[in-house]
Amino acid sequence: MLAFVLTLVLLLSIVIVLAYAERKVAAFMQDRLGPTEAGPYGSLQSVLDVLKLLQKEDIVPAAADKSLFKLAPILIFAAVFAGFAVIPFTPDLVPAGIGIGVFYLLAIISLDVVGLLMAGWGSNNKYAMLGAMRSVAQIVSYEIPAGLAILAAVMVCQSLDFQEISYQQGALMNQFPGLEYEMNWLFGIRDLGINTTTIGGITTWNIFRAPILLVAFVIYFIASLAESNRAPFDIPEAESELVAGFHVEYSGFRFAALFLAEYSMMVLVSLVAVILFLGSWNTPLPNIGPVSLAYWTTGTVGELSSILWGGFWLLSKTFVLLFLQLQIRWTYPRLRVDQLMHLCWKVLTPIALAVVLIAGIWRLLMI
Amino acid sequence: MLFYIFAILAILSGAYMVLTRNLLYAGFSLLITLLSVAGIYVLLFADFIAVTQLMVYVGGVLVLILFGIMLSSRVHDKSVMSENVNTVWGTLVAGLILVGLSYSILKANISLLPWLQTIEMDVLGNQKSTVQSIGLKLMTDFVVPFELASLLLLIALMGAAYIATDKQKV
């Protein structure tokens, strides 16, 4: 129960920062100032936005399917929020450390799709319907390259447990039960003979210990943009043709819930990318001889220092990815639907299949 | 206790799915049924089966069903209604199956089955999930059915691609 409340509070604060960042980043990229009035540098803008949304009247269209319309935002947010249950935030803080976390996350995200269909249908509006259809088609298609990229990382790590994958990517690896005698080698190649188990830092991140995962990371990142309906994959809510996509009829609190779910999805996919490819809560600084930077910036497991350092590294890496997402949104034009499908099926999926094969071979070099 | 909550949810939503005339509502109540069955799987220590159930049925089959309903019902601009046919025969067959199943379950002395007497309560042992043992079984004892299933899926995929291609008129 405590984990539930803590995760919710953490998520809400990240989303508020993110909503502010989106306005500011957009403004700076277009040579504007963005919000300046509310608070210093407009920093209270998104808090006030939320307050405004909560005060608004809760409008349910007369011709809408009432029960589905009301249920949909809750289902969408619950599906995304359930994904956070398996995310390890620090070396010893994970809401639910189940052994098949990665698989569970992929499955629970697909509940989101049902919620989107529910919202689109319940609104009884053709823009909403079209938006929901496009969104679902896009999410279902892009789950395949994303899933294959995740599979490549799982094959290298030989685990479906997020926490175990996290421990593997740092100097603390041998402290995880079951991994006491595992070793990390430079680039994952044992024959090079350079043992990086105690060096840690960036040398044990997944993209470094199996460089093929760098390709998998790029594929996953592109696919995750599509899964969270971000530009350049935002045809589901293309403002110029569909008004706002599946949430066009929503207002007030229900709109706030949908908005929150959308930004939570961005945070979730970035967190997963960080955990699977970019070393999770591990520090990027390696131990160099007597200068054990990795240990200094990790803290002792079980004490406050490890919680603070772990949370700091995890969140700062996540924010870098989120910043990249915002930047891409204001850089690239929207893809047409045929380009979208071409990219998914003819470019990303074949490359992802090849990456899975190479990752399997790489794993053989690692042992 | 948790089992009864999931079981009641599964039965109620299943009954609603059968009784409602609106196909779309039937689809959404199927969602609740599938979720509660997944919950029951978790209670039976079958975590992998539970998640696979979500992945395949909720993420795949159910979305396909909903898509089908939504795409076809927009033609008439109202929800698709299902019709009742064969009411008498349907009820009769279903009732007979229910009676037969209940009779055999009550007749069987489940708690005295030999394998149930010797089974260990600690199903997982020191493993964290059932994935390892499932993987080993699939690659050793059940490798032929596994490969056959993948072949079948490949054929289905090729068939779908063939049906979906634009056939040029000769």
Q: Where are the domains of chain A?
A: 1-55, 59-366
Residue A220 pLDDT grade (very low, low, confident, very high; cuts 50, 70, 90): very high
Mean pLDDT of B80-104: 85
Q: Taking a C-beta distance cutoff of 8 angstroms, is the pair B130, B48 a contact? A: yes
Whole-structure pTM value: 0.86
Q: Using DSSP, state whether A292 is helix, strand or coil.
A: strand
Across residues B156-164, what is the average pLDDT?
88
* pLDDT of amino acid A88: 87
Residue B18 parent element (H or E):
helix B2-19
pLDDT mean over B45-58: 85
| ipTM surpasses 0.90 | no
Q: What is the DSSP letter of A190?
A: G
Q: Which CATH architecture has domain B1-84?
A: Up-down Bundle (1.20)
- Whether the per-residue pLDDT at B99 is higher than 80: the answer is yes
Cβ of B70 within 8 Å of Cβ of A133? The answer is: yes
Nearest-angstrom CA–CA distance, B53 and B57: 6
- The pLDDT of residue B144 is 92
Q: How far apart are CA A281 and CA A272, in angstroms?
A: 11
DSSP state of A279: -
Q: From the CB of residue A179, how many other CB atoms can be counted at a distance below 10 Å?
A: 15
* pLDDT of B79 over the 60 cut: no
Q: Quick one: CA torsion of B80, B78, A110, A250, rounded to 10 degrees?
A: -160
pLDDT band at residue A101, thresholds of 50, 70 and 90?
confident
Q: Are A279 and A88 in contact (CB under 8 A)?
A: no
**Quick check: B63 and A114 CB within 8 A?**
yes
Q: Do A136 and B67 touch (CB under 8 A)?
A: yes
Q: What is the C-alpha to C-alpha distance for residues A19 and A42, in angstroms, rounded to an integer?
A: 12
Q: Which residues in B lie closer than 8 A to residue A143 (C-beta atoms)?
A: 59
Q: Percent of chain B having pLDDT more than 90? A: 15
Residues of A with CB under 8 A from a CB of B: 68, 98-100, 103-104, 106-108, 110-111, 113-114, 117-118, 120-121, 129, 133, 136, 140, 143, 160-161
From residue B117, give the alpha-carbon distance in Å to each of A12, A60, B41: 51, 57, 21
Q: B100-138 pLDDT, tens per residue?
A: 999 988 888 777 777 777 666 666 666 667 788 888 888
B62 vs A107, A108, A114: nearest CB = A114
CA distance B16 to chain A (A): 15
By the 8 A CB rule, do A123 and A249 touch?
yes
Mark which residues 92-131 of B lie under 8 Å from A by CB.
127-129, 131
pLDDT in tens, A269-289: 999 999 998 888 888 888 877
Q: Domain residues of chain B, as ranges?
A: 1-84, 127-165
Residue closest to A300 by CA, chosen among A160, A142, A91: A91
Read off the pLDDT of residues A222-242 as tens digits, 9 standing for 90 and up: 998 888 888 788 777 777 777
Nearest CA in chain A to B127: A99
- Average pLDDT over every residue of A32-39: 82
